[in-house]
Every structure is written in structure tokens, then in C-alpha cells.
Amino acid sequence: MRWLKVKRRHIMEFRPIKYMEWMKTREHAQYDLCPSGVSNLSLKELGIDFEDLEIFGENSYGYPPLIQAIANRYKVHEDNVMLAVGTSHALFMVCALLLNSGDEILVEKPAYEPLWAVAQAFGGRIVRLDRGYERGYAFNLDELEKHLSENVKFVLLTNLHNPSGVSLSPSTLKDMAGIAKKREFSWLLMRFISNSLREKSGRPLFILRTILSSSPV
């Protein structure tokens, strides 16, 4: 995007992502809960005539009608909308924009491994926040506050929680907004978030999407 300027102070190093290696090489199962995509369909199955499929037009910074629709939805200027080709790409761009080597990122545990692997590749220091089975995978705000410091750049969560599927309650979202406003850091929530969190916190909020797909790491 025209307004995105990133200064890199860290040589990126991507370590092997064990979950992705396992997922791509695992044996076939009749009921497979691992993939995050959708079934492959042909144009015929989708009811699309190839002659009606337009694959050209202005797309320098993304498809203009889509950018305009998103800007209208969230009441922002079109220059403040950046399109991504998927969740991983969006997360990569956010980390490139926000992170410097040594910044701390608080990440839930268990979590979808690529989430924190990307932040780690940009030099982020990962601190895990436990969302254990014993507590029903609930997010503990008291534990969050214990780990907050001036070095924390953002907190990375999923909602619905990946892998458990547990959702953040409206009251928890409100409390999260209050903490963000008081401690001055950003939340980075994958997949879904209530608009009220942005309105109440006044802090930057990055809205990305992902699909429940993985096992604890």
C-alpha cells in the first residue's frame, strides 16, 4: 500500500513449522479436522460460465470495489484499507509493520503454530499465555496483566480460539478493551472480533480472518 513504510532491523529467519510439516504429510483420514480450507470445486460445480468470468481490470492496490466496500463498512478512508491474499499474508504484513527485533508478543497457548512463528521470524520475543484445558481454555486477564510490560508490542489471540473453538465472552472483550486503553498496546485478534472493542479501546485493532483448524502446539 502507498502509505506502508517499513524499516527492517532484523534478518528474518523462518524455522521449520512442525505442525505444517505434519499436516501436509499425515495419512489420509475419513474425517479430517486439520485443513483450514474448503473443498476444491470446478467452475461447472460452481455454476460459473468461463465466458462470464472477468479476470482483468484495475488491481494495482487491490480490487477497487472491494476496497470501497470495506472502507464503507468500517467507516475509514480507502487509503487505510489493505487487501491480503489470505490470513498468513495479512499477519505477515502486520508483523512487518509493527515489529522490531526484541519486541515482545504475547501469544495464547495452545495456539496455531504459524501465528507465533511469523512474529518470531521478525525478531519478536514470544511470551506464552496459558489457556489450558483445566480452565476450559478460558482467557485469563489477570495472567495477561502480569506479563504486560513496555516492551509488549501486541497480544495475539484467536477468536474462536484455535484449536479449542472457545469464544471470548462480550464481558471479556470489554475488559480487554479497557486494559488496552490503560496500558497502551494493540490487540491482534484472528478471525473475528466485536466492533465494540475498537470503539471502546481507542487503540489500533487489526481485523484478520482464520478458520479453526489445528491441534495444540
**156 in Cβ contact with 122 (< 8 Å):** no
What are the pLDDT digits (tens) for 71-96? 998 888 999 898 988 878 888 888 88
**The amino acid at 9:** R
User: In which band, very low, low, confident or very high, does the pLDDT at 145 lie, cut at 50, 70 and 90?
Assistant: confident
**Residues β-bridged to residue 190:** 158, 208
The pLDDT assigned to 130 comes to 92
| Vertex 170: Cα angle to 165 and 171 (nearest 5) | 115
At 116, which helix (H) or strand (E)?
helix 113-121
User: In which band, very low, low, confident or very high, does the pLDDT at 8 lie, cut at 50, 70 and 90?
Assistant: low
The pLDDT assigned to 5 comes to 52
Distance CA 187, CA 176 (A): 9
Distance CA 27, CA 61 (A): 40
**Residues β-bridged to residue 159:** 191
Q: How many residues does the chain have?
A: 217
The pLDDT assigned to 196 comes to 40
The 3-state DSSP class for residue 191 equals strand
The pLDDT assigned to 10 comes to 61
The DSSP-derived string for 145-182 is HHH--TTEEEEEEEES-TTT-PPPPHHHHHHHHHHHHH
133-150: average pLDDT: 89
For 85-217, CATH gives 3.40.640.10
The pLDDT assigned to 110 comes to 92
Which single residue is written with the C-alpha cell 485469563? Answer: 140
Burial of residue 162 (number of CB atoms within 10 Å: 0-12, 13-18, 19+): buried
Distance CA 166, CA 28 (A): 27
What are the pLDDT digits (tens) for 158-200? 888 888 888 888 888 888 878 877 777 667 666 544 444 444 4
Distance CA 105, CA 5 (A): 21
Neighbour tally for 145: CB within 10 Å: 11
Cell triple for 147: 506479563
Q: Which of 207, 143, 161, 153 is nearest to 180 (CA)?
A: 153
User: In which band, very low, low, confident or very high, does the pLDDT at 125 lie, cut at 50, 70 and 90?
Assistant: very high
Cell triple for 205: 485493532
**Over 50: is that where the pLDDT of 216 sits?**
no
